[in-house]
Structure 1
Amino acid sequence: MPIITTAEHNKETLRRFHAAVSSGDEEIISRTIDEIVHPDVQVGTPLPLEVTGTAAMKEVLAVLRRAFPDLRIQIEDVIAEGDRVVTRNTVTGTHRGEYMGIPPTGRSITYKEVIIARFTDGRVAETWAVVDVMSQMRQLGVFKGPNA
């Protein structure tokens, strides 16, 4: 039986997180967060949040899922080093709810993101996200340019 390294375990944990988000099932998403994310997780997001820890992570995802109920994350690359795992993703969804003050447009969008997660004791303890918001805004018609 092959030995699973900490890095491989952490990579699989982050894959599991992305799969849960892509499932569209709020119960699966919530349960997965409770299982694999540290209760006091530090969530690096530009969204103003009134909550912290796993509640903050659930709120960020709830905002995205309300705006893009068919949100899907396709992992392009997974890289692990030490206690960190990075995924480079392509995200798709249809704009069906308010997002960053923009009323629903019904437009399908595709954008890139990079997620960095730091692990402690096998659980996500901190996250940072770099999201191509400019591409989102162009595709939603806020800015002129490619995909507008």
Structure 2
Amino acid sequence: MSTLQSQSKIEEANKELVRSFTRTVFVDHRPDRAVEFFDPKGKWHGGNFGTVEGAQNIAGLLTAVVGGLPDIRATEQDIIVKDDTVVVRLVVEGTHKGNLLGFPATNRRVRWDAIDMYKIKNGKIMDDWASEDGVKILADIGAYTPPWMKSGN
């Protein structure tokens, strides 16, 4: 097998790892299984939401998100793979039926765009740099109204 074929095979495996992770957590609603996809020392970098270290803690974070949005669904829009890096653009949606980011259930629909950049090592996710539209999430659950959305503007 040539080096190019070998690299292509690794990239395809990395892409499938990310797709399987997304499907398991955000379609099958099994956030507890995140530990199967992350390296035990893996990190989730959530920008304004902070950084979570360790596969168990990441699974805890995802369990809280799925608890707040029990019908959550992430739909892949784009995916790009280069070497050990996978970038995916998603549309995430669900119904706010439980505590989410400290806010009690509102039964309101939530929909936002997300871009995640994963670094893969030895078949496991080492890092996930997650860019979530936090303002949109808070606006959708009624916790915050951005100035540009206020009436009269």
CA distance in 2, matches of 1:139, 1:82: 36
Q: Which residue among 17, 30, 38 is the counterpart of 2:32?
A: 30
CA deviation map 1:8-47 (0-9, x unaligned): 11011100000001202x3xx434x333321111221344
The aligned runs of 1:1-148 (5 Å cut-off) are 5-21=9-25, 22-24=27-29, 26=30, 29-31=31-33, 33-45=34-46, 46-47=48-49, 52-144=53-145, 145=149
Give 5+ residue unaligned stretches, structure 1: none
- Partner Cα distance (2:53, 2:86) in 1: 21
TM-fit CA distance, 1:127: 0.9
Identity of aligned residues (%): 26
How far apart, in 2, do the equivalents of 1:92 and 1:134 lie? 14
Give the counterpart letter for 2:129 in structure 1: W
Separation in structure 1 between the aligned mates of residue 126 and residue 90 of structure 2, nearest angstrom = 20
Give the number of the structure whose alpha-carbon radius of gyration is greater: 2
How many residue pairs get aligned? The number is: 140
SS of residue in 2 equivalent to 1:100: coil
Scaled by the length of structure 2, the TM-score of the pair is 0.82
Q: 2:35, 2:56 within 8 Å by CA — same for their partners in 1?
A: no
Q: Is the 8 A contact 1:47 1:60 kept in 2?
A: no
TM-score of the superposed pair, with normalisation by structure 1: 0.85
CA RMSD of aligned residues (A): 2.1
**Inter-partner Cα distance in structure 1 for 2:11 and 2:123:** 9
